[in-house]
Structure 1
Amino acid sequence: MTITPTELELTGAAEAALGGATDTVAPPPEVASGARALRSLRRDAGAVLSAGYIGLVVLMALFAPLIVRLSGWSPYEFDQSAIDPNLGGVPLGPWGGISSEHWFGVEPGSGRDIFARIVYGARVSMTIAVAATALTTVLGVTCGLLAGYLGGKSDQVISRVMDFLMAFPALIFMIAVLSALPASNRSALLVVIISVFGWPYLARIVRGQAMSLARREFVEAAQASGASGASIVFREILPNLRSTIIVMVTLSVPGYIGTEAGLSFLGVGVVPPEPSWGQMIASSVTWYSVVPTYFAIPGLFLFLLVLSFTVLGDRLRAVIDTGEAR
């Protein structure tokens, strides 16, 4: 039986079709790049350690009531038997009263359990930082996209507002406003005030990249096909800003944790008896020469958390930049 060239072509096409049907479907480019970035981060010891510590603090914040119940002490409970009233409230025992009963010792003067206050302080710090980061991201991305894509008067108005807020002495304004406002709902006030001065930095970066993307061929093709402005922004421009936004968010969280701690240290942040790492560091200033552990423990937790977010954000940025270069 003679097989014609046409039949050979048809047979080859059928085999190719059948073979393609049995092969594993390749993942989309976004999924593949995300998996490659994850593998790169897993091979980085600094990124793994940083992510592990961040995960530990997040678990502490989420399960704070359960952890404190297991420790046997409330963060607001005084233990007068653990301090020496004759010495002004110095903790009994070595290392600030560290024992099987008080794992991290007790606060001088009050006898409150430091471990319980560290756990609840993680909840306060992470809640404020994450909420401020979320609000900052929404404001920054929205305003940056509007300024970069629309241009014209919208860009001028938003850019002038960004310039004003970035040039304003934010710390002095925060201290003045928080000192004048009532102490109730102080955590919510911290989130709002931190976000007001934080969003312009993200918006400036998003604006510049949105202006560049708005002139690209795929955006012009979408405009020529009759796509609406909202569709172009959310389907064409915003997905291309994903890596930038992720890196900026990762690097913003440690900044806001430090801001909350600094404001609490200055006495205008979280109001006692609500525990906060910055507030604990401020309270330890008068005791650090007598009970150095009271200063060292919350300071170490705060330092490691800020360092972990910074290292993870830096590693993530390096991985994303390497992937984009490929």
Structure 2
Amino acid sequence: MSAKKRRDAREEEVRGRSPLQDAFHRLLKHRAGTLGGIFIILVILVALFVDTTIPAAIFGGEVKPLIAPKHFAEVSFFERDLPPGTPGYLLGTDYLGRDILSRTLYGTRISLSIAIVAALVSLVIGLTYGIISGFAPTRVDNAMMRFVDFLYGFPLIIFVILLQAYFKAVSRRGATGLVGVMVNIDRALGGMFFLFVALGVLNWIGMARLARAQTLSVKQKEYIESARALGAGNLRIVFRHVLPNILGPCIVSETLAIPGYISTEAFLSFIGLGVTPPTPSWGLMISETYAAIRTYPWESLIPGVALALTTLAFNFLGDGLRDAFDPRLRGT
């Protein structure tokens, strides 16, 4: 086949793709993004099926005789701080004799739960607020954006720390009514519920700005004017024309923000304001063992490496999605 025919065949193939198929094709050509996506899929599978593959080697939990055959209360002094490669403990044990492999793999649930819930909350609230602001009259739009600017004045991490400190105090003191129900839910989730609330309070404001800017751009297009001329209402225009056209950049933005959510959870757990012990979290594992890093380095390095690899994978996937949904690269 000649070069011209191959080029014509390729152009015909490109023209036959839908925008979503073309974006997926570009993502597959992005090596770092593809590797990041594969790693994230593996992490998700581990989080989903960890109960059937490894034991819950945590104090107070049910332990299956696979990798960590003994309960914490039955662990002798000589089974603590075991190095990686010890029979029965592939990655060793910590200072309490708990299996590091099991706790590291269970920590994927915490990180992924935080990432998914925080991203969904930010996406839903930010999209709704931004689209309403973009379609609202000028005075309403200005008032809504000034409120967002006011929230931007709060230092996010300090505000989250204050919220978590308040939630922890309420949880220790006990409460009744709605607050008591929230405390019980938080205890059942190992301290994750209040993390969801704290991380979801202000993280949507960046998404709201992006959604508003995208809405203002799209609503000036000719097909929006055509839809209005045909009698379509604002609600129909939003769901049929605006939302499908702005969803791609918003999803890419949230994917790039996920590493920040994971790092924030690890930081809060490190300073004692994250999940409730003995719930295994990478930040909590590092916090409990960093003081002995010169003597038993694997106890801190293993969860630290897991945290670093997961955040890097989400960064790579976000970069790949950004290139994949770039309309200037369509057909390349």
TM-score (norm 1): 0.82
The one-letter code matched in structure 2 to 1:73 is A
Q: What's the CA shift for 1:67?
A: 1.8
Task: Describe the shift of the 1:315–1:82 C-alpha distance in structure 2 as closer, same or farther (beyond 3 A).
Answer: farther
Contact 1:288 1:295 in 2 (8 A): yes
SS at match of 1:286: helix
Q: What's the CA shift for 1:103?
A: 1.2
Larger Rg: 1
Q: What's the CA shift for 1:313?
A: 0.5
Structure 2: state its 5+ residue gaps: 1-11, 56-63, 172-182
Per the alignment, residue 103 of structure 1 pairs with: 90
From 230, 241, 245, the equivalent of 2:246 is 241
* Cα distance between partner residues in 2 of 1:147 and 1:74: 57
SS at match of 1:197: coil
Q: Provide, for residues 101-159 of structure 1, a one-character-per-residue CA deviation record: whole Å limited to 9, x for no partner.
A: 01111112x11111111111111111121011111110000000001111323312321
Q: Does 1:152 align with 2:138?
A: yes
SS at match of 1:285: helix
Per the alignment, residue 75 of structure 2 pairs with: 80
Contact 1:74 1:116 in 2 (8 A): no
Matches within 5 A, 1:231-310: 231-310=236-315
* Cα distance between partner residues in 1 of 2:295 and 2:239: 58
* Cα distance between partner residues in 2 of 1:74 and 1:58: 25
TM-score (norm 2): 0.81
Task: Describe the shift of the 1:276–1:157 C-alpha distance in structure 2 as closer, same or farther (beyond 3 A).
Answer: same
Q: How many residues align?
A: 292
Per the alignment, residue 19 of structure 1 pairs with: none
Q: What's the CA shift for 1:189?
A: 1.3
- Return the structure number with greater relative CO, CA threshold 8 A, min gap 6: 2
Task: Provide the aligned C-alpha RMSD in A.
Answer: 2.5
SS at match of 2:291: coil
Q: What's the CA shift for 1:267?
A: 0.9
Q: What's the CA shift for 1:73?
A: 2.9
The one-letter code matched in structure 2 to 1:104 is L
Q: What's the CA shift for 1:188?
A: 1.3
Per the alignment, residue 59 of structure 2 pairs with: none
* Cα distance between partner residues in 1 of 2:248 and 2:322: 8
* Cα distance between partner residues in 2 of 1:203 and 1:144: 4
Q: What's the CA shift for 1:31?
A: 5.8
Q: Provide, for residues 20-75 of structure 1, a one-character-per-residue CA deviation record: whole Å limited to 9, x for no partner.
A: xxxxxx99989622222222222332122211211111111101211224743389
The percentage of counterpart residues that share the same residue type is 35
Matches within 5 A, 1:188-207: 188-207=193-212
Matches within 5 A, 1:98-247: 98-108=85-95, 110-181=96-167, 182-183=170-171, 184=183, 185=186, 186-247=191-252
Task: Describe the shift of the 1:83–1:132 C-alpha distance in structure 2 as closer, same or farther (beyond 3 A).
Answer: farther
Q: What's the CA shift for 1:230?
A: 0.4
